[in-house]
């Protein structure tokens, strides 16, 4: 049996780009069909951002209990019931997914569960469990996302060699774990497993962690994480993963010397790859470059009326970029001019302390030949940070020396992810550093460190 529906906008993929595009289209008065093969919310909600942060919160609480003597509290952490932590994580995800499903219903978005296949720029067929559903649309938006990258050398069929997807479903914490990759995913899991009681080894082929972040920030972060008990092997290549009886072995090349690390579990966290470009996309003639769908500044492909957004177009694979791209794609599809401002995209890593950044860092500004001044302020000189027992880290702002306009900023410290939005607004609007330095900030707060760093950049810092 076959069914057919007609809509203004058809969207393939129900992750951050897709569901935001669907709601935005509905707000603009369009009829919408959203096709999703798995759960609404995509990787971020179901297998990424949200479940990871829920489990990180469990380990943060355990760390606070272990630090309780600093606050004159005599307490002992007996253990973490990781199975119950997983149940809480699943409850958080379920609540958010139900809320998202309610929003879809409220906005009259038709959700079709099944595998979508493009027939033409205005036609999609969805294979569901019961039948095929044909969608006739005026505009089509592709938001099919990404998945964990597993290079061939790591693609072994051993138990306890996991991607981030499987690591989020563990019911017990391993006594020790090797994490391959020191990007955001690897470091967040390193923080989580370390606080949960695992002995953690992180292996990274590059010479530093978080290679896209400011080197001053990452150098300080790795010192802190080492003090927390996490071991690092940088500039180290993994040659092989093998099994010796019941023990997993990671064969590494460290300084041209072959070494073996034995471990109970391995997490492969070397990044993500875009979901494969399906045959229907190729047959439609959509331009693809190195696995990415190519779009213009309006998020439109080379095929008129077909748009793409989110991870499938490459760039930084961040949910909040996908939100913005999905919104822009649907606005352009409905005749409203929209462009994404990629110069002011915040990036956050939920280690302890957190890392957050936006705009240019010191290295990228110097590469562009911009004459800059750099403002810094340490959290050890911030009253609120001392009250919280969060002395580590600093705020750093990059300012154009000729205009005093804030070009970028980096934060290493507690709640950095919550603080970066003030600086994102500043970079987005081209705000001058003295404006932030003179703006009244509440006291005592961590955000005063932003005010002081901006003041330092223009010679106006009060507490430095």
Residue 245: its pLDDT value, please? 84
What are the structure tokens assigned to 144, written together? 């099919």
Instruction: Give the model's confidence band at 276: pLDDT under 50 very low, under 70 low, under 90 confident, else very high.
Output: low
Instruction: Give the model's confidence band at 1: pLDDT under 50 very low, under 70 low, under 90 confident, else very high.
Output: very low
DSSP H helices in 67-181: 82-106, 164-167
Domains in the chain: boundaries: 5-145+275-334, 149-271, 346-458
Instruction: Report the C-alpha gap between 24 and 30 in whole angstroms.
Output: 9
- Write down the pTM of the prediction: 0.94
Pick the CATH number of 346-458 from 1.10.760.10, 3.30.390.30, 3.60.110.10, 3.20.20.70: 3.30.390.30
Long-range contacts of 426-430 (CB under 8 A, 24+ apart): 427/343, 427/344, 427/358, 427/359, 428/341, 428/343, 428/344, 430/405, 430/406
Question: For residue range 262-275, what is the model confidence (pLDDT) as tens digits?
Answer: 999 999 999 887 77
Residue 181: its pLDDT value, please? 95
Question: For residue range 313-337, what is the model confidence (pLDDT) as tens digits?
Answer: 998 999 999 999 999 999 999 999 9
Question: For residue range 165-216, what is the model confidence (pLDDT) as tens digits?
Answer: 999 999 999 999 999 999 999 999 999 999 999 999 999 999 999 999 999 9
Cβ–Cβ < 8 Å for 323, 16: yes
Question: For residue range 411-460, what is the model confidence (pLDDT) as tens digits?
Answer: 999 999 999 999 999 999 999 999 999 999 999 999 999 999 999 999 99
Mean pLDDT throughout 386-402? 97
**Which contiguous run of DSSP H or E holds residue 219?**
helix 215-227
Going by C-alpha positions, the residue among 82, 94, 34, 29 that lies closest to residue 56 is 82
Question: For residue range 25-43, what is the model confidence (pLDDT) as tens digits?
Answer: 999 999 999 999 999 999 9
**Buried (b) or exposed (e) across 188-222, using 16+ Cβ within 10 A?**
bbbbbbbbbbbbbbbbbbeebbbeebbebbbebbb
Question: For residue range 92-149, what is the model confidence (pLDDT) as tens digits?
Answer: 999 999 999 999 999 999 999 999 999 999 999 998 888 889 999 999 999 998 888 7
Active-site residue identified among 298, 441, 443, 463: 443
Question: For residue range 345-355, what is the model confidence (pLDDT) as tens digits?
Answer: 999 999 999 99
Angle at 417 between CA 416 and CA 419, to 5 degrees: 60
Residue 2: its pLDDT value, please? 59
Range with lowest mean pLDDT among 6-10, 70-74, 413-417: 70-74
pLDDT at 307 over 50: yes
Q: Name the binding residues.
A: 53, 116, 144-146, 181-188, 204, 271, 311
In terms of average pLDDT, the best of 155-159, 290-294, 448-452 is 448-452
Instruction: Report the C-alpha gap between 59 and 37 in whole angstroms.
Output: 32
Q: Does domain 149-271 have CATH number 1.10.1530.10?
A: no
Sign (positive or negative) of CA dihedral 324, 298, 364, 372 = negative
**Which contiguous run of DSSP H or E holds residue 22?**
helix 16-27
CATH fold, domain 5-145+275-334, is: FAD/NAD(P)-binding domain (3.50.50)
Cβ–Cβ < 8 Å for 376, 443: no
Same fold, 5-145+275-334 and 149-271: yes
Q: Name the binding residues for NAD(+).
A: 181-188, 204, 271
102 carries an active-site annotation? no
Q: What's the mean per-residue pLDDT of the chain? A: 94
- What number of H helices and E strands is found in the chain? 14, 24
Residue 139: its pLDDT value, please? 96
Residue 31: its pLDDT value, please? 96
């Amino acid at each position: 049996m076959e069914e057919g529906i007609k809509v203004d906008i058809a969207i393939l993929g129900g992750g951050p780009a897709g569901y935001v595009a669907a709601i935005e289209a509905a707000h603009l008065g369009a009829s919408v069909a959203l096709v999703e093969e798995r759960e609404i919310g995509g990787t971020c909600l179901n297998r990424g951002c949200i479940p990871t942060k829920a489990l990180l919160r469990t380990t943060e609480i355990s760390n606070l209990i272990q630090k309780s003597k600093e606050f004159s509290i005599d307490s002992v952490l007996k253990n973490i019931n990781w199975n119950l932590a997983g149940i809480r994580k699943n409850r958080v995800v379920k609540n958010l997914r139900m809320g998202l499903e309610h929003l879809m219903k409220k906005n009259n978005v038709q959700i079709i569960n099944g595998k979508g296949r493009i027939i033409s720029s205005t036609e999609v067929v969805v294979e569901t469990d019961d039948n095929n559903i044909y969608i006739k649309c005026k505009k089509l938006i592709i938001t099919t996302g990404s998945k964990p990258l597993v290079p061939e050398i790591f693609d072994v069929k051993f138990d306890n060699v996991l991607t981030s997807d499987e690591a989020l479903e563990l019911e017990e914490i391993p006594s020790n774990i090797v994490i391959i990759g020191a990007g955001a995913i690897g470091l967040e899991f390193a923080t989580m497993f370390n606080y949960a009681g695992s002995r953690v080894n992180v292996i990274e082929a590059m010479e530093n962690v978080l290679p896209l972040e400011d080197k001053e920030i990452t150098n300080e972060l790795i010192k802190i994480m080492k003090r927390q008990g996490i071991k690092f092997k940088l500039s180290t290549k993994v040659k092989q993963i093998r099994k010796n009886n019941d023990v997993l072995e990671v064969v590494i090349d460290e300084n041209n010397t072959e070494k073996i690390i034995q471990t109970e579990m391995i997490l492969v966290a070397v990044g993500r790859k875009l979901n494969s470009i399906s045959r229907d996309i190729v047959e439609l003639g959509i331009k693809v470059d190195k696995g990415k769908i190519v779009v213009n500044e309006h998020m439109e492909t080379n095929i008129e009326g077909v748009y793409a957004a989110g991870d499938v177009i490459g760039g930084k694979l961040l949910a909040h970029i996908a939100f913005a791209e999905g919104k822009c794609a649907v606005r352009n599809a409905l005749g409203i001019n929209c462009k994404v401002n990629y110069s002011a995209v915040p990036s956050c890593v939920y280690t302890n302390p957190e890392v957050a950044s936006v705009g240019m860092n010191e290295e990228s500004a110097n590469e562009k030949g911009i004459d800059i001044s750099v403002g810094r302020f340490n959290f050890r000189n911030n009253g609120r940070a001392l009250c919280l027992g969060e002395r580590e880290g600093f705020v750093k702002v990059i300012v154009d020396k000729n205009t005093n306009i804030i070009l970028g900023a980096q934060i290493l410290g507690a709640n950095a992810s919550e603080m970066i939005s003030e600086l994102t607004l500043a970079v987005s609007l081209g705000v001058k550093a003295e404006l932030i330095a003179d703006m009244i900030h509440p006291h005592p707060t961590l955000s005063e460190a932003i005010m002081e760093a901006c003041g330092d950049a223009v010679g106006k810092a009060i507490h430095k």
